Amino acid sequence: QVQLVESGGGLVQAGGSLRLSCVASQGTVSNYHMGWFRQAPGRERTFVAALTKTFGSTAYSDSVKGRFTISRDSAGNRLYLQMNNLQPEDTAIYFCAAATSNWDIYQSSKVDYWGQGTQVTVSS
């Protein structure tokens, strides 16, 4: 059973930074395609960033490209999301995700495992 636990959310002013962490079951980050999604109140859960297991390649949604960076630790147990220049529209619950298929990590309906989420609030 894969377990994912996020942390690092909080309240920050516009222009500030936060780093989210996702602690995963041993080896999960190295053995699965990993990603971050977010869900704002009243809206669908949407893709933010992905990191593939094979080559460690990354992908980002257009709304966060150039501001957010996804990475993992060398032990394969932690996934990170560094978020810089945060804006009020980034306010959402952020979820760590794991998928067995490369293509599935980009679609919330195809993700195999979810964390419980961590709240990020950006004030203007």
Asked whether the predicted pLDDT for residue 2 surpasses 90, the reply is no
Measured CA to CA in angstroms, residue 71 lies from 13, 21, 80, 123 at distances of: 24, 10, 5, 26
Interval 16-70: pLDDT, tens: 999 999 998 877 788 899 999 999 999 999 999 999 988 889 999 999 999 999 9
The dihedral region occupied by 52, where left means phi > 0, alpha psi between -120 and 50, and beta the remainder, is beta
pLDDT at 37: 98
pLDDT at 8: 98
The tokens for 86 are 């945060």
Interval 31-43: pLDDT, tens: 899 999 999 999 9
Q: Which of 98, 95, 97 is CA-nearest to residue 116? A: 95
DSSP state of 108: G
